[in-house]
């Protein structure tokens, strides 16, 4: 299944409410111990600051730190500069679910995982 983008602001709220625990690049949900997500730093491209045509065709997409380096991007806080173009971005990370040992993560299981995360977060 495709990874899920989690904004840093949302992760910060989860952390402040003790909804999640971070261990390196692993995110765990103490109230749902079987829910674990592997994380990779990323940004979501909101808009091209100058307006007009998006020459890199990245608005509306998520790029990892590695992908930013590969495209020559320079990321600082809520901005990424690529060549002559400045973009507003939402910092965060991609979270890939790790299936429980012996379990597969098909589409239905992925949806159950998302609902479990929502339940845990809503309960906090």
Distance of CA 16 to the CA centre of its chain: 18
What's the CA gap between 40 and 105, in Å, rounded?
Answer: 19
- Non-local CB neighbours of 54 within 8 Å, separated by 6+ positions: 48, 85
* The pLDDT of residue 121: 63
Ordered alpha helix ranges (H), the chain? 8-16, 65-70, 107-123
Mean pLDDT of the region 102-111: 63
14 pLDDT more than 70: yes
* The pLDDT of residue 96: 87
Which tens digit of pLDDT belongs to each residue from 45-88?
Answer: 999 998 889 999 999 999 999 999 999 999 999 999 999 999 99
Contact between 35 and 100 under an 8 Å Cβ cutoff? The reply is no
What's the CA gap between 64 and 38, in Å, rounded?
Answer: 13
pTM for the model: 0.81
The proportion of the chain whose per-residue pLDDT surpasses 90, expressed as a percent, equals: 48
Contact between 116 and 32 under an 8 Å Cβ cutoff? The reply is yes
37 pLDDT more than 80: yes
């Amino acid at each position: 299944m495709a990874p899920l983008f989690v904004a840093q602001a949302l992760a910060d709220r989860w952390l402040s409410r003790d909804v999640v625990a971070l261990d390196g690049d692993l995110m765990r949900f103490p109230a749902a111990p079987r829910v674990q997500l592997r994380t990779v730093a990323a940004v979501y491209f909101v808009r091209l600051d100058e307006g007009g045509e998006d020459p890199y065709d990245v608005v509306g997409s998520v790029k990892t730190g590695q992908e930013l380096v590969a495209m020559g991007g320079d990321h600082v806080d809520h901005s990424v500069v690529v060549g002559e173009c400045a973009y507003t971005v939402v910092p965060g990370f991609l979270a890939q679910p790790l299936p429980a040992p012996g379990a597969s993560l098909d589409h239905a299981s992925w949806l159950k995982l998302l609902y479990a995360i929502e339940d845990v977060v809503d309960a906090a």
